[in-house]
Amino acid sequence: MAILIIAEHNNHSLKSEAHKVVQAASQIGGDITVLVAGFNCAAVAAEAATINGVSKVLLADNTAYQHQLAENIAALVAVLGKEFSHILTAATTTGKNFLPRVAAMLDVAQISDVIAIEAADTFVRPIYAGNAIATVKSADAVKVLTVRPAAFRAAETGNNAPVEAVAAVHDVGLSAFVAEELTKSERPELSAARVVISGGRGMQNGENFALLNGIADKLGAAIGASRAAVDAGFVPNDMQVGQTGKIVAPELYIAVGISGAIQHLAGMKDSKVIVAINKDAEAPIFQIADYGLVADLFTVLPELEQQL
């Protein structure tokens, strides 16, 4: 078997999710090839080559792939992927954008949000917002998978795999990069943080999210939010944790003013320790919390920060 992994990166360094996808692929068995498609991204390919378990790295370095536009990446992967038995990438915004296109081009079914590998053709994934777990067996010649990074540990480094250049250029001309606006923060990335503190509708407005800042700084935590808080305009949508946001599984998750709708629980219930702060003792969040505090968050948060 031959496995192709499409690595997510920013043209300078690999995203941490790539290491976790390699770990998932190692459970399938077979040679693992990592594709790095971007522009001036030789350093990324060299970094990918150090991941244990990787047999080879393919480097597609061209301006057509600079911003990883879904149409161009999908066209490239669809051509390369015909030589592989499995195609994997992380279940991130980028992966969810281009990989379904690849599956369609190859005329196979995609299996999304894989959380466990049982065999080379059998995979485990959540359905119904995580309320049920499905074991799926694929008969397709090429298995196309998105992997939920939170479900796998990161593969270690120390390898020295060869890097090969890919000359093919696929610029289908269906989309163009215009601009991007990035939220700059010294805090860890939400999907990779060891500690996450999230606020919900109970925060009442965006200004009150400042109450989380001091606690997050002292814990080295990322700050998240429920969909209710995002929909209310309290915070930007890149902070959303949940079924339609980011899936996280930190060592510690603190939910503040979050009732615990199933869509939110689907994005954080695999956290190692869950702490809930809510003035409603009947809030569903308490059903999955390891520690719960029934109290007014506007009183508790300043006290918590002071104690920390």
The DSSP element (H or E) to which 112 belongs, if any, is: strand 110-114
For the segment 33-53, the average pLDDT, to the nearest whole number, is: 96
pLDDT of residue 154: 92
Q: Averaged over 243-260, what is the pLDDT?
A: 93
pLDDT at 183: 66
pLDDT band at 188 (very low <50, low <70, confident <90, very high): confident
How far is Cα 290 from Cα 2, in angstroms, rounded to an integer?
Answer: 42
Q: For residue 97, what pLDDT is reported? A: 94
Per the listing, tokens 């196309």 go with: 144
Distance CA 215, CA 210 (A): 10
pLDDT for 211-235, tens place per residue?
Answer: 999 999 999 999 999 999 999 999 9
> What global pTM score does this model have?
0.83
Better-predicted residue by pLDDT, 187 or 226: 226
Condensed to tens digits (0 to 9), the pLDDT of residues 47-77 reads 999 999 999 999 999 999 999 999 999 999 9
Q: What is the pLDDT of residue 189?
A: 86
Find the range with the poorest average confidence among 89-93, 137-141, 181-185, 297-301.
181-185
CA proximity to 88, closest of 56, 113, 118: 113
Helix 93-106 to helix 70-81 angle (10° resolution) is 50
